Amino acid sequence: MSDETFSAAAPGRVNLIGEHIDYNGGMVLPAALSIGLQIDLTPRADRVVTVSANDYDEIASRTLDETASGHWSDPALGAVQRAHALGLISGGADIAVRSTIPQGSGLSSSAALIVAILKAARSAKGADISDTHIAVEARAVENEFMGVPCGIMDQMAVSLATPGTAMALNTKTLTHSIVDLPKDHAIVVIHSGLTRKLTDGRYGALKGECDTAKAYFGTDDLCALDPADIAASDLDQPYRKRALHCATEHPRVLDAIDALKSGDIAALGAAMNASHASMRDDFEMSLPAIDALVADAVTLGADGARLTGGGFGGCIVAVVAKDQQHAWLDALLNRHPKARFIGAV
Ligand code: GLA
């Protein structure tokens, strides 16, 4: 049995814009955060998988033969099983996790954990697997082991994003480019105080509604549809609204990318605000407390703000002038005592 230990790290991510379109043919714009996690992986000769984490007192002891059980160690177990199936490790593993990413916050703690474990296993084998391939395998862990029908955005972002920049990602082709963030404005991430899990079924329900719309329009790519055609169709609700969100969100992402490239913060903010309205009204993935947080973020001086991530809780992201950031944040957190500052990119 090897007692060599292999380490890897992955950041949390925030999505600037492009929500729930990474499985509907769209472009998305995530950025890596400075919070993240590090893992140590020590391969084992038997089929046991142990997981220790700074967020939990207990050490989880699982085996390679178990299925997901809703336990906090599920993502780690799924990643070790995948690493084993890929031949990167020959048995189980001891995994130690040190994370500063709050769970249930929509900042991709689970994608970061799975990607980091797969990267450590890649080092253990000395295998020539690209970071994109790692992201694809990590998504398969979420889809097949965890039962979360997520897209590819989070895994690509945490596997490949360059800190301090945004990643314009084409989720159909996985081609991506770096987009610089504004110099005089901060991208601020604030936790609403409401947590949620992608495994709670609501994410899957939205995905299922998009699938119904895809079947109606005979396409895999809701983002390529003309919003006017969707609005004029006789597709039932809520499927029509879900499709409308996708077909309008994709051009908003393109607008946001152009706005960042040309330094047009007002246009970036407008795209973010419109994105939030679409998530609230058409995709129905927000909550009243989050709508209030977003609205106050803008009233108090942000150029734009929106819910970020899978929805029904988690974080908002706002763009705000750096010289106003402190006063703005104080005023916002004063109005929303359950909210808390996570970080700024
Ligand atoms: C979660 C999923 C992603 C993406 C977002 C919503 O983070 O893991 O694939 O769908 O929700 O944009």
Helix, strand, coil percentages in the chain from 3-state DSSP, rounded to 5 = 45, 20, 35
User: How much is the pLDDT for 105?
Assistant: 84
- Residue numbers annotated as active site: 154
The β-bridge partners of 50 are: 61, 94
Q: Which of 107, 136, 150, 198 to mutate to test the pocket of ligand 1 (most atoms within 8 A of CB)?
A: 150
Give residue 217's identity as a one-letter amino acid code.
F
Tell which atom from ligand 1 comes closest to the C-alpha of 142: 8
Q: Are 317 and 15 in contact (CB under 8 A)?
A: yes
Phi, psi values for residue 285, rounded to 5°: -115, 10
Nearest CA residue ID for atom 10, ligand 1: 20
User: How much is the pLDDT for 96?
Assistant: 98
Query: 115 CB under 6 A from ligand 1?
Result: no
Ligand 1 centroid, distance to 93 Cα (angstroms): 28
User: How much is the pLDDT for 2?
Assistant: 55
User: How much is the pLDDT for 103?
Assistant: 81
Q: What is the CA radius of gyration of the chain?
A: 20
User: How much is the pLDDT for 163?
Assistant: 86
User: How much is the pLDDT for 131?
Assistant: 98
Nearest CA residue ID for atom 8, ligand 1: 150
Below-50 pLDDT ranges, the chain: 1
User: How much is the pLDDT for 256?
Assistant: 98
Tell which atom from ligand 1 comes closest to the C-alpha of 20: 12
Give residue 109's identity as a one-letter amino acid code.
S
The secondary structure of 90-109 as a DSSP string is SS-EEEEEEE-SPTTSSS-H
Alpha carbon distances (Å) from 150 to 7, 36, 112, 247, 248 = 26, 20, 14, 18, 20
Q: How far apart are alpha carbons 122 and 344 in whole angstroms?
A: 31
User: How much is the pLDDT for 1?
Assistant: 45
Nearest CA residue ID for atom 9, ligand 1: 151
Phi, psi values for residue 319, rounded to 5°: -110, 125
Query: 150 CB under 6 A from ligand 1?
Result: yes
Tell which atom from ligand 1 comes closest to the C-alpha of 23: 10
Q: Which of 101, 153, 312 to mutate to test the pocket of ligand 1 (most atoms within 8 A of CB)?
A: 153
Q: Nearest Cα to 146, choosing from 154, 138, 135? A: 138
Sign of CA dihedral 29, 35, 40, 46: negative
Q: Are 305 and 317 in contact (CB under 8 A)?
A: yes
